[in-house]
Amino acid sequence: MTLLKDKVAIITGGAQGLGLAMAEEFVKAGAKVVVADLNEESAKAAAEGLDGEAFGIGCNVVNADEVQAAIDAALAKWGSLDVFVNNAGITRDATMRKMTEDEFDAVISVHLKGCWNGTRLASAVMREQKSGTIVNISSLSGKVGMVGQTNYSAAKAGIVGMSKAAAKEMAHHGVRVNAIQPGLIRSAMTEAMPQKAWDQKMAEIPMQRAGEPNEVATVALFLASDMSSYMTGTVLEVTGGRFM
């Protein structure tokens, strides 16, 4: 595949789960990939395991300087930045009665501030190049709201608004910004869920199965590539039909 031939892509939270699946798809499509993750060791190991040009770097998306350092490293090595995926994420689930302020702040910070850092800093490079695509990973939780996720649902809905605002600011600079809302996808994040919660979610899915990380990664590849050249400010649901 040559959909991303010679394109340079940064994926935050790329050391495992959905982000790693994206790194694998992007490399297969010919991209040079930076795996940027809070866990530097895993980021490096993940990059080494990829079948193509890639490197891993430690990066906390909440810290703008660290996001800028990942972008600078990509530019220093490969000279451009064509794709930026804001994928890093955490959950701190609890009902409002039990959720602490720290749990609220942590989730808002990683998802919303992290996504803003990635979007604005990648945009700054891409507008000069007059090309680039940004893919922001929201969630179905941001569309419908989930019990025990007032923090996460707020952050993921916020990512949709942010993506649309950024898409409008950047469209005339040749930079596209789109979002994906995955449903229930098999990863470390969802496997930590109690069986009862898993079963309840499964019952809501018309396709009657959870998604696999590569089924989100191929949609990210579509949005990252020229296959979606006339799409910006959109939200694609990857949910097996859940809450359509």
Ligand X SMILES: NC(=O)c1ccc[n+]([C@@H]2O[C@H](COP(=O)([O-])OP(=O)(O)OC[C@H]3O[C@@H](n4cnc5c(N)ncnc54)[C@H](O)[C@@H]3O)[C@@H](O)[C@H]2O)c1
Give the active site residues: 152
Determine the Cα–Cα distance for residues 69 and 19; give it in Å rounded to an integer. Answer: 19
Distance CA 193, CA 145 (A): 17
Residue number of the CB closest to ligand X reads 17
Phi, psi values for residue 37, rounded to 5° = -145, 150
Do 47 and 35 contact (CB within 8 A), yes or no?
Answer: yes
132 vs 183, beta carbon nearer ligand X: 183
Three-state DSSP state, 58: strand
Query: Given the complex with ligand X, which of 107 and 175 has the nearer CB atom?
Result: 107
Indicate the residue among 4 and 23 with the shorter CB distance to ligand X.
23
> Which of 127/189 has CB closer to ligand X?
189
E strand or H helix at 209 = none
Minimum distance of ligand X from residue 27's CB (angstroms): 17
Q: How far is the CB of 181 from ligand X (least distance, A)?
A: 7
Q: Is the dihedral of CA 86, 92, 93, 95 positive or negative?
A: negative
Beta carbon of residue 229, minimum distance to ligand X (angstroms, whole number): 25
Instruction: Write out the residues near ligand X by the rule CB under 6 A.
Output: 12-13, 15-19, 37-39, 59-62, 87-90, 110, 114, 137, 139, 182, 184-185, 187-190
Shortest spacing between CB 184 and ligand X, in angstroms:
5
Residue whose pair of structure tokens reads 């990252």 in the numeric block: 224
